[in-house]
Amino acid sequence: MKKTLILALAFLAMLTACTQDDLTFEEPTSNSEAINSEISEDQSGEIITINNFKGEPIEFIKRSDNAYQVDDMVFTNEQFLQIQEMYSGNRSVAISNTSRRWPDFTVRYAIASNFNNPSRVYAAIQSIESQIDCINFIEINCTSPESVSWKDSNSKTPVIIGSNPCETQDYIKFISGSGSVSSSSVGRIGGKQFIQISNAASTGTVIHEIGHALGLFHEQQRSDRNNHLIYNPQNAQTGSGGNFVIPTNQVSVGPFDFNSIMLYSSYTFSNGNGPVLTKLDGSTYTVQRNAFTSGDVAILEDIHNDPTIPIANTSRTLIDYETSPDTQYFEHRYFVHFNLNQSPYTLPSSKVVHYSITTETSNIGGVPNNTQISVQYYTKALSPGQSTYTLHDVITTDKIFDFGQPSGLQYERWLDIEESCSEYYIQ
């Protein structure tokens, strides 16, 4: 089941700001975190205001590097001009679902030599790679020296010193943010792009900012936001209204996700008079900054997966093979189904599938919580000409239940197929 996030492929229509993400006036719970490190306290530059379709102002800061920033989201001059044209009524602009994605879901990155605590970046990348099978982060090492400094103590615009042979590649450069600011470009913009991370930011903040670079906006800007949240503009800081605008053009998938790492908390951008966002019953909520949710992962896979590659789904059928007075024999039959554009996909050529079957044996020695897990690995060649294949048959012995309580060893099994990102995706 997929939930949605707003994507970079629709960013020209969105333009709401990102983040004071977890700025809160309440005690954070164990799975939430006050991330003041994402707040820019003194961003410098010319303020340019654009009214959206509802007449609500969106304030951009034009930086000295000719980029435009709204909180932790950074847009190129070209992107800003397209946004300006769209809201002026000249035309409606939308980006295709491939234009801002990272080709082959491969993201190259480098970490500045003076970056504080780079373990946060490595931990964030490890978390994302553990959740998304087909994403691939590659750290690149530029041979020429490069350093980052700041123009002055009041500037948030980095000044790059030295040459960089990596300029011919599309990649992310992690640099330390000045003060409390963390920010990221939205989607792949071409060439080098920055993710600025405050020294005080957590690994969760790094994941959040990488989410922007991969193409995600914020959950509260979905078209169905008002079916789940109440927006209280009288409690929002002056000039922050653009952060809560619902754009007319966006891409979203699945149900609203209160656990998304991209969601604002109730008190983000609050002026101190109360929550800016509440649930429909008026209650407030906190947000998590631990990891992507399954919905975050689903939308990232949707925009980065190659639409010409089929999707593999698995299923299992339990067959009562033989029954005696005290024993039941079950056959666990596992299948794989290939689909493309929600229709069965017939394999045009042979395909080798690697898979495993995990068995959890419980009630060992008559103790219900005494369990043991074992994994067996297999390889099977599938002949062309079908869309559904039987992968494996397993005969197991299951004891009959006595008054709902197992009287012998009990088994649970499940199948896992190794994803082959160039040949099929797993769903």
CA distances from 110 to 73, 192, 327 (A): 19, 10, 60
Asked whether 278 and 10 are in contact (CB, 8 A), the reply is no
| Residues annotated as part of the active site | 209
Three-state SS string over 114-132 comes to: CCCCCHHHHHHHHHHHHHC
Q: Where are the beta strands (DSSP E) in 43-94?
A: 46-51, 57-62, 68-70, 73-75
Asked whether 72 and 37 are in contact (CB, 8 A), the reply is no
Integer Cα distance of 339 and 425 in angstroms: 10
Integer Cα distance of 168 and 262 in angstroms: 31
Asked whether 415 and 391 are in contact (CB, 8 A), the reply is yes
Integer Cα distance of 268 and 290 in angstroms: 18
What contacts 13, CB < 8 A, 6 or more positions away? 86, 92, 93, 94, 247, 248, 249, 250
What contacts 62, CB < 8 A, 6 or more positions away? 45, 46, 47, 48, 68
For residue 111, give the nearest of 99, 120, 101, 100 by alpha carbon: 120
Q: Is 208 within any annotated ligand binding site?
A: yes
For residue 397, give the nearest of 407, 388, 385 by alpha carbon: 407
Q: Is 212 within any annotated ligand binding site?
A: yes
CA distances from 339 to 100, 317, 385, 390, 414 (A): 26, 19, 13, 15, 21
CA distances from 218 to 17, 107, 252, 265, 413 (A): 9, 21, 11, 11, 38
Q: Is 332 within any annotated ligand binding site?
A: no
Asked whether 207 and 121 are in contact (CB, 8 A), the reply is no
Asked whether 157 and 179 are in contact (CB, 8 A), the reply is no
Pick out the residues of the known binding site for Zn(2+).
Answer: 208, 212, 218
Pick out the residues of the known binding site.
Answer: 208, 212, 218
